[in-house]
Structure 1
Amino acid sequence: MGCCLSTTAAGSKSSRVSRWRSTGIVALRDAKLKTFPDEVIEMERAVRTLDLTHNKITNVPGEISKLINMQRLVIADNLIECLPGNLGKLQSLKILILDGNRISCLPDELGQLVRLEQLSISRNMLIYLPDTIGSLRNLVLLNVSNNKLKSLPESVGSCASLEELQANDNVIEDLPVSLCNLVHLKSLCLDNNQVNQIPDNLLKQCTSLQNISLHNNPISMDQFQLMEGYQEFEARRKKKFDKQIDSNVMISSKGLDVGVDK
């Protein structure tokens, strides 16, 4: 009986790996994993998408660099504390989601992921972001909410394609002047921080900006309204709101919320 069960299990594993190879998609959500699966590493170039959400994985091995064709990596809600520098060798990676872990810092090699478009690492323990993040010129979305960040690096202003920056629920006091370089930035979310002012030219130079959320920060509405470019920003914000209404898009209870507490 034992041999039959072993043969059945082996056949099931073989079938699963065969399916992964044919689709390029490895989905192991809620699989009760404690370690990074060896059979995935062995697939090397065949992996395009890897989802290991909601397991108990504590370590990402350096051998992950073998998955050189991987475009999407999701390891949310695990127990990971650090990432290997070899992560930077995943040159095809476009989406990296690491929400809900125990990561306190990111390797400098992160900046080597030049094709990365989305980086989400909310609900971790980050105390700083590496300066090399400025090398991510194709990054469209950066989510670092719910961490322990006191500041954002000046280099973030070099993320030339950035459209959405989410950094709610940190302890950020100062914003880098380089944010003004982000001409494609549409949404800046900094609720529940310690921000008492934003760069003087932000509203003037970030000509795509449609949404700023600064609730529960020391900055006042009066300060915000006196900034150069405020009227143009306000016009863009209202235009976006009107467009949503015309398209019958559901509007949140905040509606035309100006994004700053009174």
Structure 2
Amino acid sequence: MVTLVEWPEIITCLENNRFELVLKNVKASSRVPSVNDEELQERAFPEKSPLNLLYIGGCSLDRLSTTIKHCANLTNLVLKDNCLTCLPEEIGLLTQLKLIDVSSNQLVSLPQSMKNLENLQSLDIAKNKITTEGLFDFVGLVMLHIFEASHNDMTQFPPSLTSESLVKLHTVNFSYNKITNLPFEFSKVTKLKDLKMEKNELTDLPLCLGRMDKIRFLDLKGNPFKDTRFRKLANDTRVKVPSVLDYLRRKHGEMEDGENGNEKEKGNDDERNNGDSLNVITHHPSMRVKVLDSVSSIRGFLLTCVIRNINLSGQNFRKFINLQTRLHSNECIQRTRATIGTHDVSALSLPLRYLALPIDELFITALRKKTPVSARDLLSNLLLDSELARKREKRSQVNPVHRYLHLVKDLPLLGCLIDSEGLVISLPPLTNSDLTKMTENTSSVLVEVSSSDSIDVCYEIMDIFIKETRLISPSIEMDQMRVYKENDDLLGEYPSRDSLRGISLHFQNYEEKKM
């Protein structure tokens, strides 16, 4: 029988029924017998082994015994930084596994039996020689959260990784492979937040990504995209993810229009939707905002629109307010990326102006207040409240909920939205006016989305907000609003003919409607 004298880690594990066996940086030739010895591994993996964690890293391991099947309780299997060229099919019997890390080996394929690992949450196969054909069917991995597969030899995106069953998959890394395209079916992976495809062979636009609104990190650098503008976007580290996704959405719309005889120019874009429609009135003379030059360097991006015929009675009002709160927390990243404002149209006068004013000259009746207060005093009070909350919660840093305050706390001027009678209705990202606040009786809503990042961010947030508002009140209609620079150049309009993909927008000119 093989002696374990030189393997105190295994002796301790066996004698004490330990749940963890960890071997780090033990070279194969430094101990007798070698870590690759079959009998040694049989001793380490006895029948009914209690192990739930096996870590063998940096040990020149070039084979794993089939007796690994005895470790039925394993939840974590780490075999990284070794010399493995294959794994035994018996791994597929370890159905309690939640994490597998076989990165930095010499694997060319994975056992087909791994398709049975229904509890697997994280799989890391980076830095191997695995091909697309060497993968298994992912459909059964319903708990998979993370798939790391960078630095391999894959030429195609694994078809089974586009399965609708992968409802928890949020991180995928295929950087440094040879993948030539992303299938449109990949958009079915609706929870994806982090996608890395750096240094592949992508040439066509990955249009599927335009439908994946939850992506927060996207790396497409180093791919030979045929679309020159998109190649520049993908390689520019300053460009935000929403800008990339918005470009893809717009290009997808253009391609659809080309295939369908340019129907979008007729205003009846029925081919792009599933029968869902929304009426939009355009060119109303009052539905406009002028953005003055003073605000361009502070918070220079703005979109507005009006929602008509909204039903906020009963539970709908609470749902509508909760929607705004949720978007502020998530898509708007605690108001640091964008801010949404909503107002009762009957309480204000159109058109609007968007400008910057000195904080001592800017007054607003803030939400839940009865008298006007200067922007300086309002900001000071909000900063004080955030500091008191930090101390009360015993935090070392301010709560992320209040982080937006630090974007504007040192600015001598703040952006504000003012109606035609001089009423300050919004002070983004701080507050809206209590005088224009909504109630359950509100039937028409002015929506504003402002950002210091880009106009694309405003379009993205507005699209999400309107789509989810329609789930609350399906019968809404809209008035398009246009945003102009001080010199009357058009900055943006919402909804535009590229907005709200999946919904048929029926545009009607205001003057034609009156006739």
- TM-score range for the pair, normalised by the shorter chain length: 0.7 to 0.9
- In structure 1, the residue matched to 2:36 is 35
Query: Paired residue for 1:186, among 180, 193, 196?
Result: 193
Cα RMSD after superposing both structures: 3.1
How far off its partner does 1:241 sit? Answer: 10
Query: Paired residue for 2:214, among 205, 208, 217?
Result: 208
Quick check: 1:135 aligned with 2:140?
A: yes
How far off its partner does 1:106 sit? Answer: 1.1
- In structure 2, the residue matched to 1:18 is 15
Supply the distance in 2 between the matched residues of 1:189 and 1:92 (Cα, whole angstroms): 28
Q: Is there any run of 5+ residues in structure 2 with no aligned partner, and where?
A: 29-34, 231-243, 252-329, 338-397, 404-452, 454-515
How far off its partner does 1:176 sit? Answer: 2.2
Contact 2:183 2:208 in 1 (8 A): no
State the one-letter code of the partner of 1:239.
Answer: I
- In structure 2, the residue matched to 1:239 is 333
The structure where strand makes up a greater share of residues is 2
Contact 2:186 2:208 in 1 (8 A): no
Distance 1:45 1:177, change over 3 A: farther
State the one-letter code of the partner of 2:248.
Answer: M
Aligned pairs for 1:150-169 (under 5 A) are 150-158=155-163, 159-169=166-176
State the one-letter code of the partner of 1:193.
Answer: N
Contact 2:46 2:67 in 1 (8 A): no
- In structure 1, the residue matched to 2:291 is none
Supply the distance in 1 between the matched residues of 2:5 and 2:66 (Cα, whole angstroms): 32
Distance 1:38 1:30, change over 3 A: farther
- In structure 2, the residue matched to 1:218 is 224
Supply the distance in 2 between the matched residues of 1:70 and 1:156 (Cα, whole angstroms): 25
Contact 1:131 1:154 in 2 (8 A): no
How far off its partner does 1:86 sit? Answer: 1.2
How far off its partner does 1:218 sit? Answer: 1.6
Supply the distance in 2 between the matched residues of 1:163 and 1:200 (Cα, whole angstroms): 19
State the one-letter code of the partner of 2:180.
Answer: E
Supply the distance in 1 between the matched residues of 2:170 and 2:75 (Cα, whole angstroms): 20
Contact 1:123 1:146 in 2 (8 A): yes
Supply the distance in 2 between the matched residues of 1:10 and 1:144 (Cα, whole angstroms): 33
State the one-letter code of the partner of 1:212.
Answer: L
Aligned to 1:178, the other structure's residue is in SS state helix
Query: Paired residue for 1:70, among 74, 79, 89?
Result: 74
- In structure 2, the residue matched to 1:260 is none
Distance 1:167 1:77, change over 3 A: same
Contact 1:139 1:161 in 2 (8 A): yes
Greater shift in the superposed pair: 170-179 or 195-204 = 195-204
Supply the distance in 2 between the matched residues of 1:173 and 1:12 (Cα, whole angstroms): 46
Contact 1:154 1:177 in 2 (8 A): no
State the one-letter code of the partner of 1:95.
Answer: L
How far off its partner does 1:208 sit? Answer: 1.6
Distance 1:228 1:60, change over 3 A: same
How far off its partner does 1:136 sit? Answer: 0.9
State the one-letter code of the partner of 2:140.
Answer: S
Contact 1:210 1:240 in 2 (8 A): no
Q: In the comparison of the two structures, how many residue pairs are matched? A: 236
| TM-score between both structures, scaled by the size of structure 2 | 0.42
Contact 1:82 1:105 in 2 (8 A): yes
Aligned to 1:168, the other structure's residue is in SS state coil
Supply the distance in 1 between the matched residues of 2:9 and 2:146 (Cα, whole angstroms): 38
Aligned to 1:44, the other structure's residue is in SS state coil
Aligned to 1:191, the other structure's residue is in SS state coil
- In structure 2, the residue matched to 1:259 is none
Q: Is there any run of 5+ residues in structure 1 with no aligned partner, and where?
A: 1-5, 231-235, 249-255, 257-262
| Alignment deviations for residues 139-160 of structure 1 (CA, whole Å, 9 cap, x no partner) | 0000000011101221101222
- In structure 2, the residue matched to 1:176 is 183
How far off its partner does 1:186 sit? Answer: 0.3
Aligned to 1:26, the other structure's residue is in SS state strand
Higher relative contact order (CA 8 A, sep 6+): 2
Supply the distance in 2 between the matched residues of 1:76 and 1:104 (Cα, whole angstroms): 15
Supply the distance in 1 between the matched residues of 2:8 and 2:208 (Cα, whole angstroms): 63
Contact 1:91 1:115 in 2 (8 A): yes
| TM-score between both structures, scaled by the size of structure 1 | 0.79
How far off its partner does 1:15 sit? Answer: 3.5
Supply the distance in 2 between the matched residues of 1:77 and 1:102 (Cα, whole angstroms): 9
